[in-house]
């Protein structure tokens, strides 16, 4: 183990330069954020991920955000285990009818102020699964959505761009309530 650790030290960090913030995401957020959260939240957001019916492809790429290349926590973003601890719900999938109630309950269990980020093409409007008897629709059909990150699945870089825009916006625009 010692050797592996030492080698890790010698080759330098793998973590890459952060990608640019997604300008389209910024403008979408400008609509949805009226208040600044900085006073309350500082430069950090806690994220609770909710799979509301995804094929699990989005989960794989969300997982990757924690690896050495993307290192999500350097931006003050971290995943938490309970909606009670979360500022952000990161929701994937078409929302299945079987998950609709669980998603609503999770949303209601998340304290204000909170933001909802819908991840993946299916989360917009159900995607390829739209129209099924078992699908309620996109995330916005069940809970209010502040930001969509598109892709099937979105790459970790796409996710980072969107989440950085969210962080910037939460810090810049804020919260006064």
| Residues in touch with another protein (CB under 8 A) | 1, 3-5, 14, 49-64, 66-69, 79, 81-83, 93-94, 96-102, 105-106, 128-129, 131-135, 152-153, 155
58 versus 167: smaller Cβ distance to another protein: 58
Residue 153 CA: distances (Å) to CA of 13, 19, 45, 114: 26, 18, 22, 24
1 versus 31: smaller Cβ distance to another protein: 1
Minimum CB separation of residue 92 from another protein in Å reads 9
Residue (of 102, 122, 121) closest to 48 by Cα position: 102
Say how far apart CA 8 and CA 20 lie, in whole Å.
27
- Strand 115-119 relative to strand 88-92, pairing: parallel
Structure tokens at 64: 């990757």
71 versus 168: smaller Cβ distance to another protein: 71
Minimum CB separation of residue 166 from another protein in Å reads 17
26 versus 62: smaller Cβ distance to another protein: 62
Minimum CB separation of residue 148 from another protein in Å reads 18
Check if the beta carbon of residue 82 is closer than 8 Å to that of residue 50: no
Most distant CA pair in the chain: distance in Å?
55
Minimum CB separation of residue 124 from another protein in Å reads 15
């Amino acid at each position: 183990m010692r050797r592996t650790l030492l080698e890790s030290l010698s080759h330098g960090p793998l973590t890459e330069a952060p990608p640019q913030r997604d300008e389209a995401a910024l403008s979408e957020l400008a609509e949805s954020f009226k208040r600044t959260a900085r006073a309350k939240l500082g430069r950090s957001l806690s994220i609770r991920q909710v799979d509301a019916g995804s094929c699990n492809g989005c989960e794989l790429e969300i997982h990757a955000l924690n690896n050495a290349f993307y290192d999500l926590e350097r931006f003050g973003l971290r995943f938490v285990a309970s909606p009670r601890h979360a500022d952000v719900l990161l929701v994937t999938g078409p929302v299945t009818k079987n998950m609709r109630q669980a998603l609503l309950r999770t949303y209601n269990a998340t304290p204000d102020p909170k933001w909802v980020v819908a991840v993946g093409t299916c989360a917009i409007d159900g995607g390829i699964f739209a129209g099924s008897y078992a699908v309620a629709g996109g995330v916005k059909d069940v809970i209010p959505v502040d930001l969509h990150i598109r892709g099937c699945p979105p790459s970790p870089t796409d996710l980072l761009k969107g989440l950085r825009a969210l962080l910037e916006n939460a810090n810049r625009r804020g919260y006064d309530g």
